C-alpha cells in the first residue's frame, strides 16, 4: 500500500454554491472524506481559494510544499487538488522544478462539492491511484481528470464546462473500469531551480493578436517595466504591422519576447514574412514550441526571476518530449 500526501489548494472540488455564487470552502479532510482507503494518505491544506485568485507567491509556496513532501521517505507520491481555471499554469511550474521520481498529480472538479453529481470524489480517487502507481515514477507532474491523465507540459483547459476540460498535452495514461493503463511517460529535461522570492513579483504580460491589432499595448507593457512579454500571435505565430519592429526594440532593451499562438492546438512554426513569424523571430522573438501563452508566461516568470539568458529561455522552451510506455 502506497502512502500519498494530498495537498488542498481550494477550487471547485472544495466549493459550495451560495447566494453569491460558488466559493472555495471545504478543507482537505472534507475533500478526501470519500476516498476508498485503497492507499494510505495524509492531508495538508495549503490555500483555500478559487484558482483564479492565486498569485505567484502562492504557487511558490505550493512548489516548496511539494519539495518537502517528496523528500519524506514515507511519502510515495503527491496529489494536489486545485481549481481548473489555472491548473495548467501551477502544474507546469511545478513540473519545471520537480526533481524527484515520485509522481505529483493534479486534479479537481468541474462541479461543486454540493452538486448532486459532484465529480470531485471520483477524480480524487483516480489521482491517488495515479500517484501511487510505480509505472508513473519519473513521469513528473501530471493532470488527472475524468479518467484521463496528461503530462503537465502542453496541457490546456480547452472547455469551460466539459467533464474533462483538458487537452493538448501528452496522454500519459487512462483508466478502464478502475484499472490504470499507462501509454506514455514524459522524457523530462533537468529540473530548473525552485522559484525564489523574486518570482513573487515577476511581471510577464500576455499580448493577444487579432485582425487589425496594433503593437501599442505590447510597447506599453515593455515601457512600463515588464520582465518579459508573451506574444500570442495568430495561426502559426504571426502578428500585424509594426510588431516586428516593436519586438526588436523590446529585445534590444533587455525584455525577452516569447512567441506563442492563440490557437488552442498545434506548435508555433514561423513560416510567413511581411510581419509574420519569420520576421518576428528574426527580430528576436523566441518561438514557444508546443506551449500555450499561459504556460509560456510561467516559464518566463521563473526564468527571468532567476535570471536567465535568452539562450537559456530558448533551451527550456524546446525541451520536453515523451517516450512510449507499457
Does residue 251 carry a pLDDT above 60?
yes
pLDDT of 99 reads: 96
Q: Is residue 193 part of a domain?
A: no
Domain boundary residue, one of 187, 218, 245: 187
Owning domain of residue 301: 202-322
Q: Are residues 42 and 159 in the same domain?
A: yes
Cell triple for residue 118?
A: 459532484
Both 72 and 139 in one domain: the answer is yes
Is residue 222 in some structural domain? yes
C-alpha cell at position 192:
530548473
Q: Which of 121, 154, 187 is the last residue of a domain?
A: 187
Examine the domain organization and report whether 277 and 167 are in the same domain.
no
What share of the chain in percent tops pLDDT 70? 98
Burial class of residue 216 (count of CB atoms within 10 Å of its CB; 0-12, 13-18, 19+): exposed
Residues 226, 180 within the same domain:
no
Does the residue 153 lie in any domain? yes
Grid coordinates representing 308 are: 536567465
**Are residues 45 and 140 both part of a single domain?**
yes
One domain for residues 217 and 276? yes
Looking at residue 307, which CATH number applies to its domain?
A: 3.40.50.40
Confirm whether 60 is domain-assigned.
Answer: yes
Identify whether 213 is a catalytic site residue.
no
Distances (CA, A) of 189 to 5, 81, 95, 183, 259: 25, 25, 10, 20, 21
- State whether 183 and 285 are in the same domain: no
Mean pLDDT of 231-249: 97
Q: What are phi and psi of 60, to 5 degrees?
A: -60, -40
Residues 47 and 156 in one domain: yes
The catalytically annotated residue of 12, 47, 86, 107 is 12
Contact (CB, 8 A) for 208 and 262? yes
What pLDDT digit, counting tens, does each position of 212-234 carry? 999 999 999 999 999 999 999 99
Residue 55, Cα to own-chain centre: how many angstroms? 14
C-alpha cell at 186: 514524459
Identify whether residues 243 and 114 lie together within a single domain. Answer: no
Q: Which of 157, 187, 217 corresponds to the end of one domain?
A: 187
**Tens digit of each residue's pLDDT (9 = 90 or more) over 96-114:** 999 999 999 999 999 999 9
Question: Is 309 considered catalytic here?
Answer: no
Percent of the chain at pLDDT > 90 equals 85
User: How many domains does the structure of the chain reveal?
Assistant: 2
Q: How far apart are CA 316 and CA 302, in angstroms?
A: 11
* 304: Cβ contacts below 8 Å, ≥ 6 apart: 202, 204, 227, 228, 256
Q: Distance (Å, rounded) from C-alpha 5 to C-alpha 18? A: 30
The residue annotated as part of the active site, out of 9, 81, 84, 304, is: 84
Residues 39 and 86 in one domain: yes
Spatial distance between the Cα atoms of 108 and 134, rounded to a whole number of angstroms: 22
Amino acid at each position: 500500500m502506497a502512502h500519498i500526501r494530498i495537498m488542498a489548494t481550494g477550487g471547485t472540488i472544495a466549493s459550495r454554491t451560495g447566494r453569491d455564487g460558488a466559493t472555495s470552502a471545504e478543507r482537505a479532510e472534507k475533500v478526501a472524506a470519500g476516498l476508498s482507503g485503497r492507499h494510505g494518505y495524509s492531508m495538508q491544506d495549503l490555500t483555500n481559494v478559487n484558482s483564479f485568485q492565486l498569485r505567484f507567491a502562492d504557487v511558490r509556496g505550493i512548489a516548496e510544499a511539494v519539495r518537502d513532501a517528496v523528500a519524506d521517505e514515507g511519502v510515495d507520491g503527491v496529489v494536489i487538488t486545485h481549481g481548473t481555471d489555472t491548473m495548467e499554469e501551477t502544474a507546469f511550474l511545478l513540473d519545471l522544478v520537480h526533481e524527484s521520481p515520485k509522481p505529483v498529480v493534479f486534479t479537481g472538479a468541474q462541479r461543486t462539492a454540493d452538486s448532486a453529481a459532484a465529480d470531485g470524489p471520483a477524480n480524487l480517487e483516480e489521482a491517488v491511484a495515479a500517484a501511487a502507481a510505480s509505472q508513473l515514477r519519473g513521469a513528473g507532474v501530471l493532470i488527472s481528470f475524468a479518467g484521463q491523465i496528461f503530462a503537465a507540459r502542453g496541457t490546456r483547459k480547452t472547455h469551460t464546462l466539459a467533464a474533462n476540460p483538458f487537452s493538448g498535452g501528452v496522454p500519459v495514461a487512462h483508466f478502464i473500469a478502475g484499472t490504470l493503463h499507462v501509454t506514455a511517460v514524459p522524457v523530462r529535461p533537468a529540473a530548473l531551480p525552485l522559484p525564489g522570492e523574486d518570482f513573487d513579483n515577476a511581471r510577464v504580460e500576455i499580448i493577444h493578436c487579432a485582425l487589425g491589432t496594433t503593437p501599442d499595448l505590447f510597447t506599453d507593457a515593455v515601457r512600463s517595466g515588464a520582465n518579459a512579454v508573451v506574444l500570442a500571435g495568430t495561426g502559426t505565430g504571426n502578428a500585424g504591422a509594426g510588431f516586428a519592429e516593436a519586438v526588436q526594440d523590446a529585445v534590444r532593451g533587455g525584455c525577452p519576447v516569447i512567441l506563442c499562438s492563440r490557437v488552442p492546438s498545434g506548435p508555433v512554426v514561423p513560416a510567413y514574412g511581411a510581419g509574420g513569424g519569420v520576421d518576428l523571430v528574426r527580430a528576436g522573438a523566441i518561438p514557444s514550441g508546443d506551449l500555450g501563452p499561459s504556460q509560456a508566461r510561467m516559464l518566463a516568470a521563473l526564468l527571468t526571476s532567476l535570471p536567465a539568458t535568452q539562450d537559456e529561455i530558448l533551451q527550456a522552451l524546446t525541451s520536453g518530449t515523451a517516450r512510449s510506455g507499457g
